[in-house]
Structure 1
């Protein structure tokens, strides 16, 4: 622990503080993924700019977030996870204030990029900080609480953004983060325990290659719909980004202290969990992106009304994720995640069948509930599964990989489903909208089904040993169970 800070609270208090502070900080980051979407028409009227600028107000956050997650995890392992987590909170808070004060779309996009960089510092380290203080047999429940908060933030972004924009102003989407961040930073310094990766060294070539590769690939994903998937700039981004990622793999295979040990991917659990995360975010984020527009543009609801009508979906993670975490501790994450992905696929497929300009809201509610329950079942165990497949001292980078692939999946899903939507329909009439919406949702269903198949490839977890009975080797330290597939 760093000198000059207060001693850590007792163990039980330390766990509680860690859950509260990491969940609150990552709530801000997750919320800002979608909170701005319902405010874009008002921002355009206030600041000007065309469609491309409005898209970059969204993508300007996603791009640095996805590209710098591995760097954030590596810096935490090297410099101290609490320290880097706190720096992420400060950067995100300052960038939020800059976004609220922006007087042009260019300034707002720059502030959004700084927000994304701050989020990349704090998000991957939140799970590592939790894992460092929560006993292995209780991590499922702890990650369930964390997952509930993240699911609620992601899904309630359109509601919060719409309500603030409609009743106050769009600037309050960003001002909302400032008092929370200012309150969080001193508590992070005083109430979180410091930890580092054992013998961690900063792999500068690997970090630069990974960041450059992700930048090229994600940039082409978010520009594909705007410029065409076969246009020169988009193809160049894919080729150069892919080449940088290939060079990153080659370097990591021979680096003396690799940022991302390639042996991680020998683990079926690690590979399958990350693949399913990418596919789930692609299917679910792309579907949410179109469905929120369907409620507003086709069914005539205001941003606030549309957000309220999404509550059967958005409230489910808050209610179900803690229960899913407890189930994970008892039966393992594999069946919980598989059921969650299956329910999401059924829910999105149901909405595709119902999609029609005249469909009633009530008939959509059961599908929203299925999607929300499925999202909760997915969020709770996946972090624990990804980190449980690697040694404890390298869990920070495992969390960074999982979060980076989630962001890439979200960007990919929005781009691909929007492209399918545009090729089969459009915004001209309500019928044209649903003509494009239906095939796009079925692509989302296909991604969720593929994610279900991927998670079923993970090995069944071995049951953790029971703690010793009173008086029987009670002074012997408990051994952490080794999950199946650990490298």
Structure 2
């Protein structure tokens, strides 16, 4: 799985670069390890969900929030985290985010009830929102020229490896010492990084910057209300007041966010970016691809363990080919975008995802999961991998160079928010499967995924620009 990130700064004119820091490669290794933890925590939790539910007596709604609370805060507050990195200094912001993420991981592992568990996940998300943009800022300012491209290539590889490691590590830890260790494992790594990073990562001078805290709170609150309404619909129905009120509240919060951003002197998100067709197309593709992929991990993990009785370790091992297929799809997509263009690559990737989802609409309580579920997952994730790359290259390489950083921030936000919304929707559709322990609800949820992928393929025909993006030296996806 990939995450968009802010663009690399470029030196104006022909000013000479300062001599390279001899500690830069060690610093890169430490920064990437910190980022690896953040990516890991998106997928590592999915395999542990059934054991969490059994130990803490968690219902479907709470399980959904265990996943979405992290990605919601990560995505909703990341642009603010980038501004804080400018205002306070990147190293200081990175260390603050790392400290919060580490402490929240310990709290989550120690949780004995739902409020503590969700509070810890929220803390992890806020820490990630501080850490990730500060980490990328340090990478892009520490390296120059060809070395920067190489360093950003290492950074980009963290996404796929983190996703793949997450499902396997989550299964091994849950099956071994228990689900709290999917969070405890962050603690020694975080403490080691807190000690080592100051010795290898140079401090950067703070720069005065306006902080759009109001905008960050509005967009995060609006998305939280949207997710709450979507999850509530699974129990109360789509027309119940408890569903409609949060959905209307979400619409109001988004409208207020748009008003604040248009009037602000230093907006969190430049809404004019959505008038750029490549950015709009990239954001749409990223929202759909992330929503589908995280939904597959969420549904598959609960189905395999709750309905089919697989162990966490077997579940994690079964998902490993899915993570690998996503990486292969991304590699194939990067080649196709350069040869045939963004539009056909996006449409083909979504069509493949829809085709892979079709077998998943006929799951049952019996039969081989390796013949019935795994092929569909692998095919769908192969297509989604290509969509991830298309989303990024379309948004970042088809806009003016000076707008690449802003476009990257937009795509980044839609990546995290897409995962939250995707899980909320499929959780609601599969509610009967959770409650009755039957495959029927899961079949319905995968049907929604298939329809969403097919509809997105049709929409991509009109939304995604023609042409082949030109390589951009700057923003990367991780």
TM-score (norm 1): 0.78
* Equivalent residue, structure 2, for 1:3: none
Residues 261/49 of structure 1: CA separation in 2 closer, same or farther (3 Å cut): closer
- The answer to whether the aligner puts 1:459 opposite 2:462 as a matched pair is no
* Equivalent residue, structure 1, for 2:426: 417
* Equivalent residue, structure 1, for 2:452: 447
Where do residues 186-335 of structure 1 align in structure 2 (5 Å cutoff)?
188-189=197-198, 191=200, 200-318=209-327, 321=330
Query: How many angstroms apart in 2 are the aligned matches of 1:397 and 1:78?
Result: 17
* CA-CA distance at 1:311 after TM superposition: 2.1
* Structure 1, 127-136 or 157-166: larger mean CA deviation: 127-136
Partner deviation per Cα, 1:180-206 (whole Å, 9 max, x = no partner): 223334555455577799984223443
Q: What secondary structure sits across from 2:77 in the alignment? A: helix
* Equivalent residue, structure 1, for 2:355: 346
Residues 18/51 of structure 1: CA separation in 2 closer, same or farther (3 Å cut): same
* CA-CA distance at 1:270 after TM superposition: 0.7
Residues 49/277 of structure 1: CA separation in 2 closer, same or farther (3 Å cut): closer
* Equivalent residue, structure 2, for 1:68: 77
Q: Which has the higher contact order (CA 8 A, sep 6+)?
A: 2
* CA-CA distance at 1:31 after TM superposition: 2.3
Query: How many angstroms apart in 2 are the aligned matches of 1:291 and 1:350?
Result: 13
Residues 8/165 of structure 1: CA separation in 2 closer, same or farther (3 Å cut): farther
Residues 439/205 of structure 1: CA separation in 2 closer, same or farther (3 Å cut): closer
1:71·1:211 contact (CA, 8 Å) conserved in 2? no
* Equivalent residue, structure 2, for 1:84: 93
Unaligned runs of 5+ in 2: 1-16
Partner deviation per Cα, 1:358-383 (whole Å, 9 max, x = no partner): 24514544433323433433444544
1:65·1:116 contact (CA, 8 Å) conserved in 2? yes
* Equivalent residue, structure 1, for 2:436: 428
Residues 191/383 of structure 1: CA separation in 2 closer, same or farther (3 Å cut): farther
RMSD over equivalenced CA pairs, Å:
4.1
Query: How many angstroms apart in 1 are the aligned matches of 2:349 and 2:31?
Result: 24
* CA-CA distance at 1:174 after TM superposition: 1.0
TM-score (norm 2): 0.79
1:276·1:454 contact (CA, 8 Å) conserved in 2? no
Q: What secondary structure sits across from 1:240 in the alignment? A: helix
* CA-CA distance at 1:255 after TM superposition: 2.4
Partner deviation per Cα, 1:94-134 (whole Å, 9 max, x = no partner): 21122223344432222221111111223345555555567
* Structure 1, 17-26 or 65-74: larger mean CA deviation: 17-26
1:61·1:115 contact (CA, 8 Å) conserved in 2? yes
2:97·2:127 contact (CA, 8 Å) conserved in 1? yes
* Equivalent residue, structure 1, for 2:20: 10
* Equivalent residue, structure 2, for 1:477: none
Query: How many angstroms apart in 1 are the aligned matches of 2:151 and 2:282?
Result: 19
Query: How many angstroms apart in 2 are the aligned matches of 1:13 and 1:238?
Result: 50
* CA-CA distance at 1:268 after TM superposition: 0.7
Query: How many angstroms apart in 2 are the aligned matches of 1:47 and 1:353?
Result: 31
Query: How many angstroms apart in 2 are the aligned matches of 1:410 and 1:261?
Result: 22
Query: How many angstroms apart in 2 are the aligned matches of 1:450 and 1:200?
Result: 41
* Structure 1, 279-288 or 58-67: larger mean CA deviation: 58-67
1:124·1:400 contact (CA, 8 Å) conserved in 2? no
* Structure 1, 242-251 or 220-229: larger mean CA deviation: 220-229
1:36·1:58 contact (CA, 8 Å) conserved in 2? yes
Residues 75/451 of structure 1: CA separation in 2 closer, same or farther (3 Å cut): farther
- The answer to whether the aligner puts 1:163 opposite 2:172 as a matched pair is yes
Residues 339/63 of structure 1: CA separation in 2 closer, same or farther (3 Å cut): same
Query: How many angstroms apart in 1 are the aligned matches of 2:332 and 2:144?
Result: 18
Q: How many residues align?
A: 459
* CA-CA distance at 1:86 after TM superposition: 3.2
* Equivalent residue, structure 2, for 1:109: 118
2:34·2:98 contact (CA, 8 Å) conserved in 1? yes
* Equivalent residue, structure 1, for 2:160: 151
1:141·1:326 contact (CA, 8 Å) conserved in 2? no
Unaligned runs of 5+ in 1: 1-6, 466-479
Query: How many angstroms apart in 1 are the aligned matches of 2:272 and 2:55?
Result: 51
Residues 413/214 of structure 1: CA separation in 2 closer, same or farther (3 Å cut): closer
* CA-CA distance at 1:277 after TM superposition: 1.2
1:220·1:234 contact (CA, 8 Å) conserved in 2? yes
* CA-CA distance at 1:357 after TM superposition: 2.9
Query: How many angstroms apart in 2 are the aligned matches of 1:346 and 1:149?
Result: 28
* Equivalent residue, structure 2, for 1:438: 443
Query: How many angstroms apart in 2 are the aligned matches of 1:391 and 1:230?
Result: 44
